[in-house]
A and B are shown apart, each in its own frame.
Chain A
Amino acid sequence: MASVTGTSISMASFKASLAPSSRVSTLRSVSLPINGKSFTPLRLRPARFRVSCSAKPETVHKVCEIVKKQLALPDDSAVSGESKFAALGADSLDTVEIVMGLEEEFGISVEEESAQSIATVQDAADLIEKLVEKKGSA
């Protein structure tokens, strides 16, 4: 997707420009050398295995859908667990609308303190599962 590869390319060449021997002409290539390691754009990287209390992929997916809807992003936009709300352009009103959407979708209630600490889609998904679990065991 344009936005993801765009970000990763500019980040990569941004860092690459600090090194004296960087070759910025490699902007268009898929694999960019950074510190001797090959840097693969996010969408081609295999899914990282996340340890411990991590939300189910279905939950992450639902959160992505709600976020895309709120921010009016096209269906094929690159929103994943790692996506930061701020980087997607969500302002405070978007964020509280997203929280409200998540509460309705999952039947939970999110407190302001918890909502404030959500920075990524994954954070939201993890919080949702924690609240759903707590609700289930109550």
Chain B
Amino acid sequence: MSWLWLRCRVNFTMNIRCCQRNFCAASSPLVPVPLPSPMETHLWYLVPNEVKSDTLLNQYLELLSPCERENVFRMSGDQLRKRALLARALVRTTISRYQTNCQIHPRSLKFRKNIFGKPEVDWQDVDDRHLPPLHFNISHSSSLIACGVTMNSPIGIDVEEKQRKLKNNILAFARRYFSPYEVELLTAISDPEFQRQELIKLWTLKEAYVKALGRGFSAAPFKTFTIRFRTAMEGGIHVSGHRDSEAFDTVIDSFDDPKNLANNWQFALLDLAGSHYAAICTEKDRTAGGKGTLPMKLTVWRTIPFVEDECVSGTDAVVAIAGLT
């Protein structure tokens, strides 16, 4: 991948003003997208193997801040560098699609971290002061990068390859990191492959929750909460068996949570692109009355920024497992 050495000579005097002219240099401008409504979640994902062009990678590199570029080059090896680059390019291009009056150049976005280290957009530098705040969260495996976007709600997402194998014994891992309820649930599964799949799914849900909380891994250690499925219809708790995504509702039991704040959150779990489990956690819509949770309204796009976007909701690329309509 010779492009990485060539791009070390990047020109820092490039004009960074918000300008339509810069878009013309790209293959095609980013397709603008309406803002998600307060109850909607958007998910954009990119498959690194689909990005092969050095020219395109260079275009992405030009979107990054100097600091982000340094971070990319600090990664060990070309594959990791490519992944780091694509992750930042995905975040920047995704957020810049959501615009009202002024077209935001992906390169002009600024980011900061909250006091716990969770990345967020720093809107102060954006010209259009009326731009409502978007929340985003990214996750990547070695073969897919995803970015979730919401309005007015914190969001956490996690993606893992369905085929991912643990180096440790599954139950030993579960005993170390999961709650007793979850360990029991996994122990009851006799088929090792199914057990492994359920562990990975549970992992993504728990990761998504902690990332949505945005207070760091230690603020909600995995052992201190349980994520389980509850049938919305019967109000009871079903441990295993066939999951109908319409009927099941993910519930958090948090042991340190006297005010039951854990139930402000809702989840979606899906089979993404045939290759990954993806979990999304957002705040529940508090205007919805009653104890039930409306299924998450999710729209999913597969993208190669500046090249193609494909809305894949309703296709084989998005198969609901739980929490979705």
List residues of A whose CB falls within 8 A of some B CB: 2-4, 6-7, 9-11, 13-14, 17-18, 24, 27, 69-70, 78, 83-84, 87-89, 91-93, 96-97, 100-101, 103, 111-113, 115-116
* Residue pair B8, A17 in contact (C-beta under 8 Å): yes
A sample of 20 cross-chain residue pairs with beta-carbon separation below 8 angstroms, ordered by A number, consists of A4-B76, A7-B73, A10-B8, A10-B73, A17-B9, A17-B10, A17-B12, A69-B167, A78-B76, A83-B76, A89-B75, A89-B80, A93-B166, A96-B177, A97-B173, A100-B168, A100-B173, A100-B177, A115-B218, A116-B218
* Residue pair A97, B167 in contact (C-beta under 8 Å): yes
Closest to A114 in B: B218
B164-185 CB contact bits vs A (8 Å, 1 = yes)?
1011100011001100000000
In the bound assembly, the distance between CA atoms of A96 and B218 in angstroms comes to 12
In the bound complex, residues from chain A placing their C-beta under 8 Å from that of B168 are 97, 100-101
Q: Is B160 an interface residue (CB 8 A)?
A: yes
* Residue pair A93, B164 in contact (C-beta under 8 Å): yes
In the bound assembly, the distance between CA atoms of A101 and B140 in angstroms comes to 23
Which bracket fits the contact residues of B?
A: 35 or more
Q: Is B132 an interface residue (CB 8 A)?
A: no
Q: Is B77 an interface residue (CB 8 A)?
A: yes
Measured CB to CB, the closest approach of chain A to B229, in angstroms, equals 22
Q: Is B4 an interface residue (CB 8 A)?
A: yes
Closest to A93 in B: B203
* Residue pair B74, A27 in contact (C-beta under 8 Å): no
If A24-B8, A89-B80, A97-B173 touch, whether A14 touches B70 (CB-CB below 8 Å) is: yes
In the bound assembly, the distance between CA atoms of A70 and B69 in angstroms comes to 27
In the bound assembly, the distance between CA atoms of A10 and B78 in angstroms comes to 11
In the bound assembly, the distance between CA atoms of A113 and B215 in angstroms comes to 12
In the bound assembly, the distance between CA atoms of A97 and B203 in angstroms comes to 12
15 new A-B contacts at CB < 8 Å, known A13-B5, A88-B80, A116-B218: A10-B8, A10-B73, A14-B69, A24-B9, A70-B167, A87-B76, A89-B76, A89-B142, A92-B207, A93-B160, A93-B166, A100-B172, A100-B176, A112-B217, A113-B218
In the bound assembly, the distance between CA atoms of A92 and B208 in angstroms comes to 11
List residues of B whose CB falls within 8 A of some A CB: 4-5, 8-10, 12, 69-70, 73-80, 83, 140-142, 160, 164, 166-168, 172-173, 176-177, 203, 207, 216-218, 221
In the bound complex, residues from chain A placing their C-beta under 8 Å from that of B166 are 93, 97
In the bound assembly, the distance between CA atoms of A87 and B79 in angstroms comes to 11
In the bound complex, residues from chain A placing their C-beta under 8 Å from that of B177 are 96, 100
In the bound assembly, the distance between CA atoms of A83 and B218 in angstroms comes to 23
Measured CB to CB, the closest approach of chain B to A102, in angstroms, equals 12
In the bound assembly, the distance between CA atoms of A101 and B167 in angstroms comes to 9
Closest to B70 in A: A14
Other-chain residue from A14, A78, A100, A112 in contact with B8 (beta carbon distance below 8 A): A14
In the bound assembly, the distance between CA atoms of A38 and B160 in angstroms comes to 43
If A14-B70, A112-B221, A113-B218 touch, whether A87 touches B167 (CB-CB below 8 Å) is: no
* Residue pair A84, B5 in contact (C-beta under 8 Å): no
* Residue pair A7, B207 in contact (C-beta under 8 Å): no
If A17-B10, A97-B173 touch, whether A7 touches B218 (CB-CB below 8 Å) is: no
* Residue pair B74, A84 in contact (C-beta under 8 Å): yes
Measured CB to CB, the closest approach of chain B to A74, in angstroms, equals 11
Closest to B220 in A: A112
* Residue pair B9, A116 in contact (C-beta under 8 Å): no
